Amino acid sequence: MKRILIIGATSAIAAACARLWAKDGAEFFLVGRNTEKLEQVSNDLKVHGATAVSSYRLDATDIAAHSVMMKNCLTTLKQIDIALIAHGTLPDQKACENDVNLALQELSNNAISVIALLTLLGNQFEIQRHGSLAVISSVAGDRGRPSNYLYGTAKAAVSTFCEGLRARLFKVGVSVTTIKPGFVQTPMTKGLNLPPLLIAQPEKVALSIVKAVQNKTNTLYTPTFWALIMLIIKLLPNFIFKRINL
């Protein structure tokens, strides 16, 4: 039986991953901001076969509250076999350009809070010398595109932090998987003008994440065609890149 911590458990991708793990009788400690949504996810997992589900309300940007959450998690689960960090927001790039405080708030949501949690979890996994840590970053972090470079900056910071943490924890038998989704049909992307052919469903993305965690994959582009798309974007020379709108 796997003991699983999910932070940002009410997100569409996280909930879809949890349903897959629940089928194997996993025990969960779910963390999120919205108590009502946490309860809905909890009930759904019990129906899908979870052995036990506990939930905990946390605003991830409240860094001081992270350690208390971790203590509660370890009291409940005893140890963590899998941890998935899936919380985040999709900022309005133009609004962030015009409001420094908003820009810093979005960086806190998408980078600082994640790095703080990774630091705590990294230390716990190092003590355990066992487990898998998975973090949802984004293809947006691969290059600073004008349409979302605030978000991309946050995700690039998370991806770089994960790379260093992966090398550290590998030496004690712990895997760190950086997940880089492209466009996914979730409430966060609702209303955005996205190319239909490139939009994936959360269930499909979840399947690839669960498999990647099991296989201890270092970096997962999901769907996989995003690896090629981002390779092309990264290889564009600057004299071309800065003239196009991406």
Pairing between strand 82-85 and 52-57? Answer: unpaired
Report cis status (omega within 30 of 0) of the bond before 223.
Answer: yes
pLDDT tens for 50-73 read: 999 999 999 999 999 999 999 999
- Domain map (residue ranges) of the chain: 3-241
Among 159, 126, 146, CA closest to 233: 146
> With 90 as the cut, is the pLDDT of residue 94 above it?
yes
| Residues labelled as active-site residues | 151
> With 80 as the cut, is the pLDDT of residue 90 above it?
yes
Q: Tell me which H or E stretch contains 226.
A: helix 225-235
109 forms beta bridges with none
Helix, strand, coil shares of the chain, percent, nearest 5, are: 55, 15, 30
Contact of 135 with 85, CB cutoff 8 Å: yes
Note every long-range contact of 65-71, with CB atoms under 8 Å and residues 24 or more positions apart, other chains counting. 66/116, 66/117, 66/120, 67/120, 69/31, 70/120, 70/121, 70/124
pLDDT tens for 182-197 read: 999 888 787 777 788 7
CATH number among 3.40.1650.10, 3.40.50.720, 3.40.50.2000, 3.30.930.10, domain 3-241: 3.40.50.720
| pLDDT score at 197 | 78
Confidence of residue 209 (pLDDT cuts 50, 70, 90): very high
Across 43-47, 71-75, 242-246, least confident range: 242-246
